[in-house]
Structure 1
């Protein structure tokens, strides 16, 4: 497709698209009533496209640039509309397109495939109309882009007649309006005169809550759950689709190969995350409370849950000091040496005697056991949720915000968000020679890990610890948690506290004696 979207055209589209979405963002937010009237579609599309545009390099073909945009959008997709846009970009950059019309058809088909229950009168409809329009245009990229935009604009104006909630509100679909904005920018980038700004119908004074998508659950969603998911095969993804489809609506799964972006609206955020654990490795988990309540009125609080007699947290911990910390925070502790054994976690859940239980596995190796324990507990009438903590410091962050007086779902969402916002690092010693992301290590080498991957190799624990902190704080942070293991050298905590004070003035540091055996140091950055 180099003749249709060459590098200059892609760069121009990125610049024009970012500018156009930025100008239209507030208006698109204001008319957002479907699938949930939460007023953020314009913002989500703008942020997702900005992430995509930033990924464009100076080198490479137009297809290369579009693929880079698609991956960046996938990694930073925001909301339902952003996830669909990421998939649209993936189709647009697919190899083998013989014309712009062909590329736009692939983009529309890819977007439809990502949505569990496609609804007409949305950005999917506009995507299909744009592809049809381009196919009917002349054979040049410029002519096809102009025809695609005109067809998309006509389809946009027809959306209130296709989706009842839009007609009742007197607005066009917000996601569709955003896509038309991008198609207008694409047409301009390919040499057509800039289109006049279309006057969208005035936003409603009080936007009604949208009905659920066709085939979705009858109850309105309470939470928007999003995460990236690494999987090992199509079978796992098929199971995930089925599980999430049963939990809620607005289900979109985009991506390909072994990396996917998952989006769903559901009243059970914990179960949605657990479904991801069962399918692969979820990360970058985001859980957002939606404005719409169960009864379908924006801003209406959900109906009160039945009173529960008690709630407990079960946490896997690697050291005696951490066990004491977690116990003080009210958790039932399972030593990591026992957690992978048979039904040790289920036994711990049962031993709490609680009607509601939150499980913190605190290590990816314990996720399957935690998921099995929660499933068995639910079969016995216990309301159970697993927060996919991958390190003890994430478990500490979750425990710090645990609020048993709150509703179960709210507590799980808050704990999940705190854990997900905590990056984790580790300083450990290599047991044998092996290949790592940072090169070959020898037995006895000091390894610095960031988010589970070896980032640095050296000989001095203090220096490697500072290197790990530097990498983790490069992206910002407000709080550093240091958990000292049994092999931590004398003065390590003071050395690192001084480093943080000197290099990152606004960052606070807290130190715990974890007494874990496997690692001299665990690090968390919130």
Structure 2
């Protein structure tokens, strides 16, 4: 697609509502700036629904071309803007509408200019812009490219926005401490991704506009006008005041008056004679009187933050979750089948605490148990847990130096128990599981039991070298080494042997181990799984 006409603008508006509806809860959960009790996703969704419904209700003549469609969207967003994030998005749409006024279609260069103007008006709507918020994400999208092709402009804007979103924790300490990105910025990325999808013909055609409107109305929950969550601003102010203002004579004076009363002040217009006013304050009467002094307020909405439902009570979607960083695709599928949230770790890679933290917060659980499953991942798990705890989640790391210990912990996990009791049971199961491994030496080395050469087979038990089998690593030599390590581990007793077969495990090694146990250790059972790990031929566990 090389240009957006009125129909495509409408499809984008519908896609924005559908995408934001899907992401609303997740965006609400990561809203931690400046206090962790916001509803950014809900506010964005309300604002976008207002814009879409205005477009669907508008006479055909007013939305017959792209410029007219954008104008109606912007007016609807300004009228229905909810919260700071909604006000900012309304100004993005207003700036786009100003740029494409009277245009039948929106081409690539025009879209670029529209994003630039939208970002300018969005920044102007905020009294004290802060880096690391959705304004930074919008600015990055606007500055992304000056290419001519519409798909390239949209794609470059979406990519730049996503990259800027990833940088928001570097700009705002509170985001870094909580291990999240800016909630409003994530909303911007959702909108731009929807635009890229529409321009690229993905997803399939959306439902008819009337049906979209009906679905939106059916999904809407009744709002309580006396309840609000604090999306931004200082907790020194108890009320959120919003109203529409007509016939305004001195908007600058109104903004100054509201700045003296509170914070989170925005006074933004639709480009004609309608303004949306927003402020957090303690003197509700003075905020309304300030509007009366310069114009005619209507649709006045006042909400008291103290009446809002506790954010912590509604913040988490579920009670418990288990998280594990996992090496090996087969092993990851094994963990996923047990209901564990997995961070897949590639060959030779070490994840950052932030990557693991994203999985922890992404569970939406109030209590999370982390099973590192690797000596090298325990410290990373501890750091991620600290940041998650600072953001309000209850996170406990169960020390696991091997994936077989993590599997043992998962086997006794019972979400019906008290969280503390469940963690104790999982920790005890992991600690009671001895661990072993068989690897192929990549280079010569000196071990506790003697030297080994490259391609020798080395057996470990509980982190110590217990066996060296001369190379090359033939199937028979590997199977012999596996049996040798298990025999040494069983010397002090055990009832269940677990074997995780690595990517390079030879065919028949599991059968050879089973035959060995039946002949020499009939008291021990054997469980075999495909692990797919690349750093060891076989990982062994003994319970």
**TM-score normalised to structure 1 length:** 0.49
Q: Structure 1 or 2: larger helix share?
A: 2
**TM-score normalised to structure 2 length:** 0.47
Which structure has the bigger radius of gyration? Answer: 2
